Amino acid sequence: MNIFRDPRWGRGQETYGEDPTLTGRLGVAFVKGLQGPDPQHLKVAACAKHFAVHSGPEKLRHEFNAVASPQDLQETYLPAFKQLVDANVEAVMCAYNATNGEPCCGNTYLLQDVLRKQWGFRGHIVSDCWALVDFYQGHKVVKTPAEAAALALQRGVNLNCGSVYPYLPEAVKKGLTTEAQMDSSLAILLRTKFKLGLFDAPGSSPYDKLSTDVINSPKHRALAREAAQKSIVLLKNNGVLPLRNDLAKYFVTGPNAANLDALLGNYYGVNPEMKTILEGLVAGVSPASQMQYRPGALLDRPNQNGVDWVSGTARTSDATFVVLGINGLLEGEEGESIASPSFGDRLDYNLPQNQIDFLRGLRKNNQQPLVAIITGGSPMNLAEVHELADAVVLAWYPGQEGGNAVADIVFGKVSPSGKLPITFPKSLDQLPAYESYGMLGRTYRYMTQEPLYPFGYGLSYAKFEYGTLKLPKKAAKNKPVEVEATVRNTGKMAGEEVVQLYLTHTPRQGQQIPRYALKNFRRVALQPGASTTVKFTLTPEQLALIDAQGKSVAPTGR
């Protein structure tokens, strides 16, 4: 549920992007899917993490203090967590870092004042794994494991992922905590276990009938494919896409074409049928067509022998797909990204130089269509890729059916409809310092410089036109506002559009007010020539502004 406030963060791939409205909406949907519709019988207990104000640097996370103003807390860092609490998420995980001077797993303001008292959270709080060790090794707020255990218990951590709570008996003997306090914390955990049916007779839970037959079932594979299709973002298209799938000769190349890692983000399961991008493209062309493949380049270093086996093939092919980008070797969680010199963070915003050189070689003296397919979980500098390729397809880490989904897009089986959940700056020079958690200058809401690709951007094979936005002539204070617009597909292909509603308030001298703020969105499917009217209701809460003290205030002005 963390906000992807800076593209340098290697774990940003695990988030829903840089916007709190988007993050909360998708997070709530995930919680409902995981837990099921019956609050007394949970399918699984979902856990919202990392509470709160947590988004790098990875290398410093065990000792870092993230400083956030009251306004940034209430406007940016906390809203998505509150939405999940309102949706009855069963667990919340506190983060490694400190926020405003206290470790998150011992933070009175976050765990007691906000989570328990203001929001009324009744589920359990779990530490990030070994975060309580950071109390004495990183943050140094206590000296011993027993003191760390007592402090975390007192501040409201019910469950310790790690090695510190076995010291609770010692803490009791030393008078640092009490058995009664342990019992009351345990009672909260037992409530979750009762909801999960762990004390019920076999067969009494509504989920006991679920069998392993559903795992990797055709229905679920189809859903994985659809999710990937709808996530892929078309960044550029000079008219070459969609390609016919029955051309005489295709060529696939690039370090991530046949790479399984390019399908998988952080925290993944493996599958007996992982569809690489190469496999998807091969399956997507006509049996009468020829498709050749050579990797052509390494992920992040020059080819050792300097022999060019690919550019000639690209020039004689009817179309070339070059699969570039990054993967989990270069970005991810602390220590997981074994090729990253910066603990998984991406302090170099550029693609590896050898990939750019490779693309230049493919483009040289080549007039045939060149389609760049980019993998990765975070923004990267694609300026030269955009310039050299005829089309740029951002596939992210598209999962087990990723290759098939990419083929569905490039051959026009479906129209691309994904939109960017994060701004792609032109360079890191456009951003504040990575360690700064202030929002000014960050994300589409506060960034004043022109980005490479804006938040919410994504092309389609359909063509959508918007009618006039209808608004009431005057909005009453503390009353909802109805807005609507007609969207029409004037193109020749069916497609889906994500209609996005943004709000802009009149800027005021000396006040921090977002330039734009996403308030709602809806996906609509339209056949050629069809139209639909999309209506949104802006609630008083959505219309409000957050002031410097973190208070919600009704707006005035336009």
**Could you give the CA distance from residue 150 to residue 185 in angstroms, rounded to a whole number?**
12
Q: Distances in Å between the alpha carbon of 59 and those of 1, 12, 62, 138, 266?
A: 20, 14, 8, 12, 17
CA neighbor of 406 nearest in space, from 422, 385, 391, 420: 391
CA angle 276, 280, 282 (to 5 degrees): 115
Q: Are 41 and 90 in contact (CB under 8 A)?
A: no
Alpha-carbon separation of residue 394 from 7, 280, 329 (angstroms)? 16, 15, 18
Place of tokens 């392993």: 212
Q: Would you list the DSSP string of 326-389?
A: --TTTSSSTTT-TT-TTTT-----BPPHHHHHHHHHHHTT--S-EEEEEE-SS--B-HHHHHH-
Query: Among 320, 324, 321, which residue's Cα sits nearest to residue 300?
Result: 324
Pull the structure tokens for residue 169.
């008996």
Q: What span, in angstroms and rounded, lies between the C-alpha atoms of 464 and 12?
A: 30
Pairing relationship of beta strands 102-103 and 233-237 according to DSSP bridges: unpaired
DSSP state of 535: E
Cα torsion 265, 269, 339, 380 to 10°: value is: -10
Return d(Cα 41, Cα 85) in angstroms, integer.
Answer: 17
**Which residues face 201 on adjacent strands?**
none
CB 235 within 8 A of CB 386: yes
Secondary element (H or E) of residue 320: strand 319-325
Phi, psi of 308 (to 5 degrees): -100, 105
Enter the DSSP assignment of 128.
P
List of E strands, 59-99: 65-66, 91-94, 98-99
Known catalytic residues are 128
Q: Which residues pair with 218 in a beta bridge?
A: none
Contact in structure between 106 and 135 (CB atoms under 8 Å): yes
Task: With H, G, I as helix, E, B as strand and everything else as coil, classify residue 396.
Answer: strand
Q: Give me the residue label for tokens 């707020």.
A: 141
| CA 462 – CA 459 distance, rounded (Å) | 9
Tokens encoding 42: 């949970």
In angstroms, the CA 373 to CA 359 distance is 12
Q: How far apart are CA 305 and CA 497, in angstroms?
A: 47
24, containing H or E segment: helix 20-35
